[in-house]
A = this chain, B = another copy of it.
Amino acid sequence: MQLLNGKETAKVLLDSLEIDVAQRAATGKKVPHLAAILVGNNGASETYVASKVKACNEIGFVSTLIHFEEDVTELKLLEKIEELNEDMDVDGVLVQLPLPEHISEKKVIETIDPSKDVDGFHPVNIGKMTLGEKEAYVSATPYGIMLLLEHHKIETKGKHAVVIGRSHIVGRPMSILLSNNTNPGNCTVTLCHSKTTNLKEICLQADIIVAAIGIPEFVKADMVKEGAVVIDVGITRIKDATKKSGHRLVGDVDFKNVAPKTSFITPVPGGVGPMTIAALMKNTFKACDERN
Contacts and interface: CB of A to CB of B under 8 A. Distances in A.
A188 interface: yes
Max chain B C-beta neighbours (<10 A), residue from A130, A186, A202: A130
Interface residues of A, number: 35
A14 to B, nearest CB: 29
B202 A188 contact: yes
Contacts of A197: 158, 188
Given A123-B124, A158-B197, A196-B158, A131 B168 contact: yes
B166 A179 contact: yes
A125 interface: yes
A191 B188 contact: yes
Interface in A163-196: 166, 168, 172, 175-176, 179-181, 186-193, 195-196
A128 interface: yes
A193 B202 contact: no
Nearest to A199: B188
A188 B190 contact: yes
Nearest to A192: B188
A126 interface: yes
Given A122-B127, A127-B126, A188 B196 contact: yes
- When A and B form their complex, which 7 residue pairs have the shortest distance between CB atoms, in order from nearest? A123-B127, A127-B127, A126-B127, A190-B190, A186-B195, A188-B196, A158-B197
15 contacts: A122-B127, A123-B123, A123-B127, A123-B133, A124-B127, A126-B130, A130-B172, A158-B195, A166-B179, A179-B193, A187-B195, A188-B191, A189-B190, A190-B191, A191-B191
Interface of A: 106, 122-128, 130-131, 133, 157-158, 160, 166, 168, 172, 175-176, 179-181, 186-193, 195-198, 202
